[in-house]
Structure 1
Amino acid sequence: METTAIQVALDHSFQELLHQLTTFDQEQLNIAPFKNSWTAGQLAEHLIKANGGFLEVINGPVQDTPRAPDAKIAEIKGIFLNFETKMQAPAFIIPADIHYEKPYLLSSLQDIKAGLDHATTTLDLTKTCLAFELPVLGYLTRLEAVYFVIYHTQRHLHQLKNIYQQVVSLV
């Protein structure tokens, strides 16, 4: 399986995410830009919970895949990169309403990225992950799970940029 495209997409998504998070100062990181909105810190914590969870799924139990291992990638992309669609996160990945520290967030995201890099270069990405079944999509292959993380990160990067524009105007 060709891993170069996956690694490039992972690198690009995470580098952009980390760069955008560094543009927030500590105070801005914990300011809600709108009523009922997450702060940048909460958004980053959501990514840590969700993407870190997917890293566990990728490294968890697997089985052979009876379909094309990339069959659901286009659907995943369509779901996450449609910025007009509002989504509700499941309770287990909703971040707490607390004060977040930027070094913790950056370090945690870098650790997840390192784990994903390791997984994409050492594991068989065609295998189906059995540790977690998504509503609608069902079980994903490791390949699809990595792209889930990529597109999920890109979606929230888009939101993070919007949060930054609003927070900068408030401070």
Structure 2
Amino acid sequence: METTLNNFEKTIGEFINIVSSFDDRQINTVPFAGSWTPGQVARHIIMSNSGFADMLSGSVANTTRDASEFADQIKADFLNFNIKMKSPDFVVPEDTDFKKADLLNDLQHIEQTIQKDIKTMDLSKTCTSFALPVYGNLTRLEAIYFVIYHTQRHIHQLKNIRNTMVN
């Protein structure tokens, strides 16, 4: 649990820091054709991670396999930056102007919620409220690692966006 918590806190902290590094104008600037704005990337993570927070506190069942069975595959999938992924429609951010302060507040709220869940929940239980494409029903532990690796993917994306805006 301690390793999972540390990985989560480090990842979310880095994501919040990089979002913070964009000024109010840049947060809503499209850096290049086909890209989301930094605000849209942050909103996407908010939408996704809040869904996972709901999943963690939703219905669960006893797990009949290793609780971390899919963690390595999730990592391999999300940290493969050579492939372009398409987000499911329900986590595609709206095309609007975002307030950086609101995004940061939402990110910090989700961070606190999932931190509490990591500390207090049985992470070996299988979440039954939502089955993901490809993976199916994840354990709470795998769901947290999905949040970590998915967020790390978008840290990479935001670094590329920031580099484009600086150069």
Q: Whole-Å Cα distance in 1 between the matches of residues 75 and 59 of structure 2?
A: 24
Report the residue type matching 2:79 in the other structure.
L
Provide Cα deviations, 1:12-45, integer angstroms capped at 9, x if missing partner. 1011111111110000111111112100000000
The question of whether the paired residues in 2 share the 8 Å contact of 1:32 and 1:167 is answered with no
Report the residue type matching 1:125 in the other structure.
L
Partner of 2:53: 55
1:90 maps to which of 84, 88, 92: 88
Alignment of 1:82-121 (within 5 A): 82-121=80-119
Partner of 2:63: 65
Q: CA RMSD in A?
A: 0.6
Partner of 1:4: 2
Query: How many residues align structurally?
Result: 167
Partner of 1:133: 131
Alignment of 1:41-52 (within 5 A): 41-52=39-50
Partner of 2:161: 163
2:14 maps to which of 7, 13, 16: 16
Partner of 1:81: 79
Structure 1 position 168, deviation (Å): 2.6
Q: How does the TM-score come out when normalised to structure 1?
A: 0.96
Which segments of 5 or more consecutive residues in structure 1 lack a partner in the other structure? none
Give the secondary structure class of the aligned counterpart of 1:35.
coil
Provide Cα deviations, 1:67-121, integer angstroms capped at 9, x if missing partner. 0000000000000000001000000000011001000110101111101111011
Report the residue type matching 2:50 in the other structure.
G
Give the secondary structure class of the aligned counterpart of 2:94.
coil
Q: How does the TM-score come out when normalised to structure 2?
A: 0.98
Superposition misfits of 4+ residues, deviation over 2 angstroms: none
